[in-house]
């Protein structure tokens, strides 16, 4: 895969490729928290516990949200969210009945 040079950034020697790969998803979570003015008085609901949802959970924790709820259809993803500090997890259903 070839990308224009102005879209590429050299990682410092102390940053692994795995850590570097997480910069963009984490920036999405931080941006969401900034746009929502998340802070010490803001409760947060994260809809979806995939990679972006999980880094948004971490960002909300860093912004000191007092209560963070994560909702998803997948039990494993919810258990990861709980392990990462979600105050509450909600199993939602794809069944509309």
Q: Is the pLDDT of residue 64 over 80?
A: yes
* Separation between Cα atoms, residue 91 and residue 35, nearest integer Å: 26
> Which residue is it, tokens 């392990």?
83
Q: Is the pLDDT of residue 97 over 90?
A: no
* pLDDT tens digits, 27-57: 999 999 999 999 999 999 999 999 999 999 9
Please give the average per-residue pLDDT across 56-72, as a whole number.
98
Q: Which range is least confidently modeled, 3-7, 57-61, 85-89?
A: 3-7
Structural element, H or E, at residue 67: strand 67-72
- CATH topology for 39-97 is Rossmann fold (3.40.50)
pLDDT for res 1? 80
Domain-wise residue ranges, the chain: 39-97
């Amino acid at each position: 895969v070839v990308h224009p040079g102005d879209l590429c950034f050299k990682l410092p020697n102390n940053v692994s490729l795995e850590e570097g790969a997480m910069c963009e998803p984490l920036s999405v979570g931080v941006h969401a928290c900034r746009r929502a003015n998340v802070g010490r008085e803001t409760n947060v609901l994260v809809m979806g516990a995939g990679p972006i949802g999980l880094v948004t959970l971490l960002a909300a924790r860093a912004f000191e949200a007092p209560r963070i709820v994560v909702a998803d259809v997948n039990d494993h993803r919810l258990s990861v969210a709980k392990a990462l500090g979600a105050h509450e997890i909600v199993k939602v259903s794809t069944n509309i009945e």
